[in-house]
Amino acid sequence: MTDSIASKPTIVRLVAADAPAYRCLMMRAYAEEPDAYTTTAEERAAEPEGWWVRRIADPAGASAAWGARVGDDLVGSVALEFSRKPRTAHDALLLGMYVRPESRGSGAAQALVQACIDHCVARGSIRHLKLTVTDGNAAAIRLYESAGFATWGVEPGAILVAGTLRAKRHMWRPIA
């Protein structure tokens, strides 16, 4: 990825006011990369504004999100969800990873994953960071492996995309 000419993005923690830009970015993601997500664009289009605010900056602290910006443009993002159940509160879930095609290869995704890891470490109570990725998504699998994630299982036929069953890898990374 060293031959990229994409501008280096700045990573920022998203706040409630970023919800419209985040929605716009993720609606593009769901529409253009249907294989990559468990949720469809149609499902997300039906969500009210409050859902998008809760996804990126839940007032109760159950989620947080980071954006990659080039100038004023939000070119990528990722979110974390935290369990409220005492017996699973040591796990965090990374989801909604997306970088716009024209900004790929600039290290945006790597920096977004690192922001999630740093946040989990700073939170103190998190022991594992988990995610799922569609099997065969080489770019995403390599990204996560290079950030220390390992595959602990592959779920056959986990999602049905345009009539085809696709397996999902379950990946896991310890938080020191």
Q: Considering only CA atoms, give the Rg of the chain.
A: 16
Query: What would the two tokens of residue 35 be?
Result: 């294989």
Identify the residue among 133, 149, 166, 175 touching ligand COA (CB under 6 A): 133
Task: Return the number of the residue (49 or 102) whose C-beta is nearest ligand COA.
Answer: 102
CB of 40 within 8 A of CB of 140?
no
Task: Compute the least distance from the CB of residue 98 to ligand COA, in Å.
Answer: 5
Task: Return the number of the residue (105 or 148) whose C-beta is nearest ligand COA.
Answer: 105
Task: Return the number of the residue (39 or 83) whose C-beta is nearest ligand COA.
Answer: 39
Task: Return the number of the residue (94 or 126) whose C-beta is nearest ligand COA.
Answer: 94
CB of 88 within 8 A of CB of 62?
no
Identify the residue among 19, 56, 108, 126 touching ligand COA (CB under 6 A): 108
CB of 124 within 8 A of CB of 89?
no
- Under rule CB under 6 A, residue 52 binds ligand COA: no
CB of 99 within 8 A of CB of 108?
yes
